[in-house]
């Protein structure tokens, strides 16, 4: 009970922090000095540095040039303006402190929220000036990253329905496919699938709930998930269980778009807004629309036995994409699906950050020349740029889940990450220079809460 009260207190603190920017550095004009005449964009996550010749490269973007670098020795250079972090690798206790008023932090994160739950909390998101995440509300949305193109959704023809039915009736193939080798994830998906299996036959490959073997060793290699032979194999199934490893608005992966590509019907659980990104208004079955696994199984069975109804879900393969929201988004998204260094999302976001720091410096210069021109006000992210809910059980009640189960590490990770976010916020506010003191700040926070 004490832990439960503590979580509620943490939640209350987070709500109160939603609109508090007092911890953030105030805007100051920074003048150029040193040898560099262009702003520096520092990749704090050096492993993602997208230029392959040396540690630095000059990039030419829409509003001007920047020096992109992964050399952390340039952090103190007064021309260092943008700092780019890759979300999975962001560590509060390794942050570039003290945070200077002219530093603009940028977050790039298209991966699962469970990879780093500190990013699911508002205090963290308020630290970033520029965001590129799977959420459509972010500054540089990466929501459609798993969609290569509209043609990729429609070009591949489905296995004929007569053949799918023959495989089901004569070859013993289930109508529903499940392929997962990453078990015990934050969404707790296997618990729901296990219950669903009581009411409908599911062929489960991979390590999670495995009940059937793939026909050859090559297909057992997870690297074959995009291999033509693997795609041909899974295309024989009428339905695919497409359950994400974590639950958050707009977090969608190839698990959802692969069945659309091969011509199967995804039974989806993940983003509650997934319909917004579908080729038409009837190409997906949403698990959350059903009050229980049994009700979902009954619906799947009904569609499976009605050829006319089943084919409605594949109508987009012949008629094309009719979802105007998706069409417009794909036409206007802020990157191209090209090789690294040629308009891909990484280099495109790098240029986005470069443009933003140049824009701010131009405004600062105008303000210096003419004080009646307003001083630039930095932009900051918000909870809806990446925020995600706390992990919960996928089926049943948490009180029925043994405390020894691995599931509990996910809520614990979520709330410990919140503590780290609050501690880092305090460190920035007081001008702390040593990020490694994060856990000291956390201990002090806990002491104050106890008193």
Q: Do 238 and 304 form a contact (C-beta atoms < 8 A)?
A: yes
Report DSSP state, residue 229: H
Count: domains in the chain:
2
Mean pLDDT confidence for 333-346: 77
Mean pLDDT confidence for 138-143: 97
* Closest listed residue to residue 79, CA positions, set 38, 29, 26, 28: 38
Position 362 pLDDT exceeds 50 = yes
Q: How confident is the model at residue 29 (pLDDT cuts 50, 70, 90)?
A: very low
Q: Do 64 and 38 form a contact (C-beta atoms < 8 A)?
A: yes
Domain co-membership, 323 together with 374: no
Domain co-membership, 279 together with 411: no
| Domain stops at, among 328, 349, 364 | 328
Burial label for 31, CB within 10 Å (0-12, 13-18, 19+), is: exposed
Domain co-membership, 121 together with 38: yes
* Closest listed residue to residue 69, CA positions, set 378, 279, 77: 77
Buried (b) or exposed (e) across 104-122, using 16+ Cβ within 10 A?
Answer: bbbbbbbbbbbebbbbbbb
| Domain stops at, among 279, 302, 328 | 328
Half-sphere exposure of 422 (CA within 13 A, CB side): 23
Domain co-membership, 323 together with 437: no
Domain co-membership, 226 together with 309: yes
pLDDT tens for each residue of 209-252 = 999 998 887 787 766 788 899 999 999 999 999 999 999 999 99
In this prediction, residue 342 carries a pLDDT of: 65
Domain co-membership, 278 together with 422: no
Q: Over the chain, what is the mean pLDDT?
A: 90
Q: Which two tokens stand for residue 290?
A: 């059903």
Position 382 pLDDT exceeds 50 = yes
In this prediction, residue 337 carries a pLDDT of: 64
Domain co-membership, 167 together with 119: no
In this prediction, residue 15 carries a pLDDT of: 40
Domain co-membership, 354 together with 266: no
Other C-beta atoms closer than 10 Å to the C-beta of 207 total 11
Other C-beta atoms closer than 10 Å to the C-beta of 410 total 20
Question: What angle, rounded to 10 degrees, do the helices at 409-430 and 438-450 form?
Answer: 100
Domain co-membership, 234 together with 302: yes
Q: Which two tokens stand for residue 410?
A: 């996910």
Mean pLDDT confidence for 136-164: 97
Domain co-membership, 386 together with 313: no
* Closest listed residue to residue 44, CA positions, set 61, 69, 24: 69
Domain co-membership, 354 together with 245: no
Q: What is the residue whose two structure tokens read 């990729």?
A: 152
Burial label for 400, CB within 10 Å (0-12, 13-18, 19+), is: exposed
Mean pLDDT confidence for 135-158: 96
Domain around 392: 2-143+336-450
In this prediction, residue 326 carries a pLDDT of: 98
Report DSSP state, residue 374: P
| Domain stops at, among 328, 345, 365 | 328
Domain co-membership, 164 together with 302: yes
pLDDT tens for each residue of 32-75 = 333 458 999 999 999 999 998 889 999 999 999 999 999 999 99
- Element housing 191 (H / E): helix 189-196
Position 401 pLDDT exceeds 80 = yes
DSSP 63-89: TEEEEEE--GGGTTSTTEEEEEEEGGG
Q: Do 20 and 427 form a contact (C-beta atoms < 8 A)?
A: no
* Closest listed residue to residue 323, CA positions, set 159, 155, 160, 154: 154
pLDDT tens for each residue of 278-319 = 999 999 999 999 999 999 999 999 999 999 999 999 999 999
């Amino acid at each position: 009970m004490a832990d439960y009260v503590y979580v509620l207190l943490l939640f209350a603190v987070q709500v109160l922090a939603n609109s508090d920017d007092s911890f953030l550095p105030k805007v100051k004009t920074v003048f150029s000095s040193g040898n560099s005449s262009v702003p520096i964009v520092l990749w704090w996550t050096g492993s993602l540095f997208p230029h392959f010749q040396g540690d630095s490269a000059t990039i030419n973007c829409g509003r001007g040039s920047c020096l992109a670098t992964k050399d952390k020795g340039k952090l103190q250079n007064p021309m260092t303006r943008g700092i780019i972090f890759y979300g999975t690798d962001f560590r509060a206790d390794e942050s570039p402190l003290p945070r200077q008023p002219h530093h603009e932090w940028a977050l790039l994160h298209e991966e699962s929220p469970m990879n780093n739950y500190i990013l699911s909390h508002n205090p963290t998101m308020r630290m970033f000036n520029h965001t590129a995440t799977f959420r459509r509300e972010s500054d540089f949305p990466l929501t459609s990253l798993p969609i290569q193109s509209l043609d990729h959704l429609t070009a591949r023809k489905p296995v004929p329905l007569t053949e799918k039915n023959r495989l089901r009736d004569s070859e013993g193939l289930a109508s529903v496919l499940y392929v997962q080798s990453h078990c015990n994830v934050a969404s707790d998906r296997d618990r729901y699938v296990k219950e669903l299996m009581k009411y409908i036959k599911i062929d489960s490959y991979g390590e999670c709930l495995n009940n059937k073997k793939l026909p050859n060793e090559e297909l057992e290699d997870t690297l074959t998930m995009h291999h033509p032979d693997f795609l041909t194999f899974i295309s024989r199934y009428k339905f695919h269980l497409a359950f994400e490893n974590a639950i958050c608005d707009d977090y969608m992966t190839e698990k959802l778009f692969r069945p659309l590509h091969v011509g199967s019907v995804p039974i989806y659980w993940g983003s509650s807004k997934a319909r917004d990104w579908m080729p038409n208004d009837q190409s997906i079955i949403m698990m959350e629309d059903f009050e229980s696994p049994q009700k979902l199984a009954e619906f799947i069975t009904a569609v499976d036995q009605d050829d006319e109804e089943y084919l409605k879900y594949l109508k987009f393969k012949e008629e094309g994409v009719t979802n105007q929201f998706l069409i417009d988004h794909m036409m206007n998204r802020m990157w191209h699906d090209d090789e690294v260094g040629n308009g891909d999302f990484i280099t495109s976001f790098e240029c986005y950050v470069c443009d933003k720091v140049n824009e701010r410096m131009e405004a600062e210069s105008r303000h210096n020349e003419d004080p009646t021109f307003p001083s630039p006000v930095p932009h900051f992210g918000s909870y809806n740029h990446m925020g995600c809910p706390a992990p919960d059980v996928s089926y049943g009640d948490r009180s029925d889940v043994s405390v020894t189960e691995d599931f509990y590490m996910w809520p614990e990770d979520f709330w410990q990450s919140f503590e780290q976010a609050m501690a880092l916020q305090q460190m920035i506010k007081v001008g702390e220079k040593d990020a490694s003191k994060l856990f000291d700040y956390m201990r002090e926070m806990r002491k104050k809460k106890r008193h």
